[in-house]
Amino acid sequence: MTTTDITSLAQQHDLRATREYKNYIDGQWVSSSSGKTFEDRNPADQDDLIGTFQESSEDDLNAAVDAASRAYESWRLTPAPKRAEYLYKVGDILKRDKDKIAREMTREMGKVFDETKGDVQEAIDMAFLAAGEGRRLFGVTTPSELHNKFNMAVRVPLGVAGLITPWNFPIAIPAWKGMAALICGNTVVIKPASLTPLAVIMLAEAFEEAGLPKGVWNVVTGGGREIGEPMTKHSKIRVISFTGSTEVGRDISVACAPTFKHVHLEMGGKNVIMVMDDADVDLAVDGALWGAFGTTGQRCTAASRIVVHAKVYDQFVEKLAGRAKKLRVGNGLDPKIDMGPSVSASQRKTVESYVKIGKDEGATCVAGGNALTDGDHARGFFHEPTVFADVKRDMRIAQEEIFGPVTAVIKCDSLEDAISIGNGVKYGLSSSLYTRDVNKAFTAMRDMETGIFYVNAPTIGAEVHLPFGGVKETGNGHREAGVAGIDVFTEWKSIYVDYSGALQRAQIDTE
């Protein structure tokens, strides 16, 4: 695809003209105090400049936190059903502009248009789900052990929420976190990933159009060192919600400890599809292709390991490799394309390094294995969908998160062997099993050490009304999405109302 073709494609899809985007602080679009900006370019075509964004400093973060802190005093007192009305409006705006937003996200992040539409749909779904909680946010009532006394527990907001969001789901994950934070009565300061700031800017535009009170939602763009680190230490930020690598999550947990912030961490994964000898092999191959190469493998839930029973192993590998070789790689705005680019040059370099590691370890590359750098791929960060066979469970490509279009196929002898291999990593996010045997399905449901489990489906495809998150080094015990996401952004207050007119002493005056 030539530059002229890309330009024509952009015009056809009515994409935004290049411009400078500002921070959104206290209901105003403002430049950073540094006066500096950074560029955001299309990973499928580095000649395509999406825009320039504010290279913010700690001063800009402080301004945003101050605005959020001021807004909190009135926002927390706004009845939750009234807060919900803003989220319903935002959901409608996102629904109206779904295709436009998705096209910009494909341009910014690289994944194919159908996938970015799904990303926006998650934000829409989360807006409506969280808004519905505005008329619930259930607490509990319980009987008292004393006469004429009423007991209850209610949820209360925390204050200013600091959100640090990744580039692979650039509007869905900010919505997962942000909608839950807002409906609970918190105000928000969000630092989007520097590779995909436009998606969060577009979300802020939707909040602005919906009339959200100033200071309730604030966006500060910039680097992790300049913005993210000060967020973890700011005394007015009471909760940090982070999605990213386990290494950074560990640093955030340590940084937040001195001020006793609430911390929600959603981190790495090394997810497994297990294929039994009684499985529908063709269905399992379909799932493996989608799980391994959807979003170019750049999902925390990507199926980067596939454990296959020895009786169907050769058949499965042959079919998966053949299908992987036929996937069309290119610009995600082109409807003929199956897989887009890596998000950056460094991400593709990481993929290339792991392909070399796999070969050096003795695995057999049966599909792909190469960066794509010529012709239509010359200006982007493309890599072939890559399948390794003859992989051993302790190889690095079977243990370490790659975050790219690489999957490792491992042989097993039984369900118990598959579960042992599946659990034999430090992560615990998502797993799946292909089988026709309900007993095997329930055994794996029980024994897999993951926060998400699928039967006869790949490791990706979570829906917003169920909790999302993992165990071991994937998370720190919290979940987002669903009603469970509310737990991150609230704490409990127990209330006792004694209407007896006399002093009653719990645990003493009970006889």
Q: Which residues are catalytic?
A: 266, 300
CB 232 within 8 A of CB 255: yes
Which residue from 176, 202, 204 is spatially nearest to 189, judged by alpha carbons?
A: 204
In order of 57, 224, 231, 246, 255, the CA distances from 259 in angstroms are 22, 19, 12, 21, 8
SS3 assignment for 338-407 = CECCCCCHHHHHHHHHHHHHHHHHCCEEEECCCEECCHHHCCCCEECCEEEEEECCCCHHHCCCCCCCEE
How far apart (Å, rounded) are the C-alpha atoms in residues 489 and 160? 10
- The backbone torsions φ and ψ at residue 96, rounded to the nearest 5 degrees and listed phi first, read -60, -40
In order of 442, 477, 483, the CA distances from 472 in angstroms are 21, 9, 22
Number of H helices, E strands in the chain: 15, 24
Rg of the chain on CA atoms, in Å: 24
How far apart (Å, rounded) are the C-alpha atoms in residues 51 and 95? 24
**Torsion angle of C-alpha atoms 467, 234, 169, 371, degrees rounded to 10:** -130
How far apart (Å, rounded) are the C-alpha atoms in residues 170 and 91? 16
Task: Work out whether strand 19-20 and strand 45-54 pair parallel, antiparallel, or are unpaired.
Answer: parallel
How far apart (Å, rounded) are the C-alpha atoms in residues 206 and 24? 12
In order of 28, 63, 200, 234, 307, the CA distances from 66 in angstroms are 14, 5, 20, 11, 51
User: How many CB atoms within 10 Å of residue 231?
Assistant: 27
Cα within 13 Å of Cα(455), Cβ side: 12
How far apart (Å, rounded) are the C-alpha atoms in residues 330 and 381? 9
Q: Which structure tokens are listed for 493? A: 């207050």
- The helix (run of H) or strand (run of E) holding residue 488 is helix 485-488
